[in-house]
C-alpha cells in the first residue's frame, strides 16, 4: 500500500482551473525562463517557510472545519482536518513529484493543470469510492497533494469537486520551484 493510500485510509478512520486529460497521459506544463530556473531553491528548501496546516486552514476557513492537525504520513509537512462525513488532508512533499503520484495508479490518474501548474488527479484512490487526490507540481521532485475522503457512500465525483476547490485555493500560495 502506498504512503498516500495509507494516508487516505487514516483519514477515513477519523483541478477551478483544472483540465483533465486521458488516464495516464502526461500533459506538459508552461515553460519557465532560464533565469527563473537558476534562481529556484532546491526541493528540500521549497517548503521551509510553508506549513501545511496554515495553508489548509486558510483554504477551508468558514466551512466548519476545525484547525488542522499535523500529520507525518506522506511527508514531514502534512496536515489533516475533518468534520462528520468529510476528511481533508494536505501533504507538502519535497521528495516526490506528481509523476510518482500518477505512476502509483495510472488507471485512475488524470493529468491536467491547477492554475498554471501541472497537476494529477487520482479518483477513488482508496478503492471504496468517495475519495480523491490532486497533486500539484511545485518542482520536478516536489508536490502538494490535497486529499479528500467522504463517508456514507458519497460519490467520488463529489470528493474530486471538493479536492479541486481546495487545490485551486492553495495553488497561489505554493512556492514556485524549478
Distance, in Å, from the CA atom of 63 to the CA atom of 113, rounded to the nearest integer, reads 25
10-residue mean pLDDT series, the chain (178 residues): 38 34 38 38 69 94 94 82 95 92 86 96 80 94 94 89 96 88
| Residue-by-residue DSSP string for 3-43 | HHHHHHHHHHH----B---SBT---------HHHHHHPPPH
Segment 86-127, tens digit of pLDDT: 999 999 998 899 999 888 888 889 999 999 999 999 998 666
- 144 neighbors 133 (Cβ within 8 angstroms): no
Domains of the chain: 3-173 (3.40.1000)
| Residue-by-residue DSSP string for 102-158 | HHHSGGGEEEEEETTEEEEEEETSSSSSSEEEEEEEEETTEEEEEEEEE-TT--HHH
Amino acid at each position: 500500500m502506498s504512503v498516500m493510500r495509507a494516508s487516505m485510509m487514516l483519514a477515513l478512520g477519523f483541478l477551478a482551473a483544472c483540465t483533465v486529460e486521458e488516464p495516464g497521459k502526461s500533459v506538459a506544463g508552461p515553460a519557465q525562463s532560464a533565469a527563473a530556473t537558476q534562481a529556484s531553491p532546491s526541493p528540500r528548501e521549497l517548503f521551509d517557510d510553508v506549513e501545511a496546516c496554515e495553508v489548509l486552514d486558510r483554504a477551508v476557513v468558514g466551512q466548519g472545519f476545525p484547525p488542522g492537525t499535523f500529520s507525518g504520513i506522506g511527508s514531514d509537512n502534512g496536515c489533516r482536518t475533518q468534520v462528520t462525513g468529510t476528511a481533508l488532508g494536505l501533504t507538502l512533499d519535497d521528495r516526490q513529484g506528481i509523476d510518482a503520484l500518477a505512476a502509483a495508479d495510472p488507471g485512475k490518474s488524470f493529468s491536467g493543470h491547477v492554475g498554471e501548474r501541472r497537476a494529477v488527479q487520482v479518483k477513488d484512490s482508496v478503492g471504496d469510492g468517495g475519495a480523491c487526490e490532486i497533486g500539484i507540481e511545485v518542482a520536478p521532485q516536489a508536490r502538494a497533494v490535497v486529499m479528500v475522503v467522504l463517508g456514507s457512500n458519497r460519490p467520488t465525483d463529489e470528493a474530486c469537486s471538493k479536492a479541486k476547490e481546495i487545490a485551486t485555493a492553495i495553488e497561489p500560495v505554493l512556492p514556485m520551484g524549478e
